[in-house]
Amino acid sequence: MNTLELQKIKQKALKNHIPIIMDDTLEIMEKYLSKTKPKRILEIGTAVGYSAICFTEFLAENGVIDTIEREKDRVEEAKKNIKLAEVENKIHIYEGDAVEILPTLNEQYDAVFIDAAKGKYPFFLKEALRMISREGIIFADNILYKGYVMSDYNKHKQRTAVRNLREYIKEVSENPNLETEILEVGDGLAVSRII
């Protein structure tokens, strides 16, 4: 992986206000990934490819990352960035809406990273649980959503996102097959391990 290019990709994304994974969130995920060395990672929400590029460092030998992005210009940017970082043989981008693409996938993933439309998190979870391997980990970023999720937030604009994020937390916390931690890093990270 070309680390110099990675820094440039990060700076450009920040400058253009493209939401990318926060450093402290990435740090936590890297700890898990370096221990588990996943063979396959599924990422829901590519943006410009920054997090996927970061994750390639922790893949098992010949490991791959499948990532989904619906915005055409971001897909193009991600393809360019992945090439610049010299990891195009490790990352495969699905272009389109994750709600339509996920049901068509039948791979087994050792790690799933959910970082797309907040209102769709419960659906993404259902699909992730269908494809996660036996000792896999599901990460969900922005789970506390600017603090709204744990407060009595009720503004109309973000109501659906907040309600569905709360539902996600409830589901991963109550599912007997999962061991879940909600970490207050970045904008909140849910880490659910299959047990």
CATH number at residue 137: 3.40.50.150
Whether 110 contacts 41, CB under 8 Å: yes
How many helices (H) and strands (E) the chain has is answered by 7, 7
Q: How far apart are CA 140 and CA 144, in angstroms?
A: 10
The pair of structure tokens assigned to 94 is 């699905």
Q: What is the pTM of this model?
A: 0.95
Length of the chain: 195
The predicted-structure confidence for 115-147, as pLDDT tens digits, reads as follows: 999 999 999 999 999 999 999 999 999 999 988
List pLDDT tens digits, range 21-77.
999 999 999 999 999 999 999 999 999 999 999 999 999 999 999 999 999 999 999
pLDDT of residue 27: 96
- State yes or no: pLDDT of 157 exceeds 90: no
Distance between CA atoms of 79 and 76, rounded to whole angstroms?
A: 5
Axis crossing angle, helix 3-15 with helix 72-84, rounded to the nearest 10: 150
User: How many independent structural domains does the chain possess?
Assistant: 1
**Residue range of the domain that includes 38:** 3-194
Contact 149, 175 (CB under 8 A): no
pLDDT of residue 153: 67
